[in-house]
Amino acid sequence: MTLIGIDIGGTNSRVGTVSPEGRVLVRAAAPTDAARGSAATITTLLDMIHQVLSDSHARLSGPSAIGIAISGPIDVNTGIVSNPYTLGGWPPTDIVSPFRAAFQGAVVIAENDANAAAVGEWRVGVGRGANRFVMVTLGTGIGVGFLVDGQIQRGSNGSHGEAGHLVLDPSGPSCYCGAKGCWESLASGTALSNRLKDPSHMDRADYSRAIEQIAHWTGLALVNLCAVFSPDAIAIGGGAGAQFDLMKDSISEVMHQHRRLIRTDVPVLAAQAGDDAGLIGAALLAKDRQG
- Stretch of 51-59, 179-187, 192-200, 257-265 contacting Zn ion, by CB under 5 A: 179-187
- Between 103 and 183, whose beta carbon lies closer to Zn ion? 183
Quick one: which of 177, 196, 242, 246 contacts Zn ion (CB under 5 A)? 177
Burial of 96-122, coded b for 16+ CB within 10 Å and e otherwise, reads bebbeebbeebbbbbbbbbbbbbbbbb
Non-local (6+) Cβ contacts of 24 within 8 A are 5, 16, 17, 18, 276, 279, 280
In the complex, the smallest distance separating the C-beta of residue 161 from Zn ion, rounded to whole angstroms, is 13
- Stretch of 5-13, 49-57, 112-120, 160-168 contacting Zn ion, by CB under 5 A: 160-168
Regarding 165 and contact with Zn ion (CB under 5 A), the answer is yes
Nearest CA to 222 among 185, 192, 263, 261? Answer: 263
Regarding 106 and contact with Zn ion (CB under 5 A), the answer is no
In the complex, the smallest distance separating the C-beta of residue 176 from Zn ion, rounded to whole angstroms, is 7
In the complex, the smallest distance separating the C-beta of residue 167 from Zn ion, rounded to whole angstroms, is 8
Binding pattern for the stretch 183-222 against Zn ion, x by CB under 5 A and - elsewhere: -x--------------------------------------
What are the Cα distances from residue 272, in Å, to 78, 124, 125, 278?
31, 8, 5, 12
Regarding 182 and contact with Zn ion (CB under 5 A), the answer is yes
Cα angle 234, 238, 239 (rounded to 5 degrees) comes to: 140
CA distance linking residue 213 with residue 207, whole number of Å: 10
Cβ proximity of 31 and 38 under 8 Å: no
Regarding 167 and contact with Zn ion (CB under 5 A), the answer is no
In the complex, the smallest distance separating the C-beta of residue 185 from Zn ion, rounded to whole angstroms, is 5
- Using CB under 5 A, list all residues that contact Zn ion: 165, 175, 177, 179, 182, 184
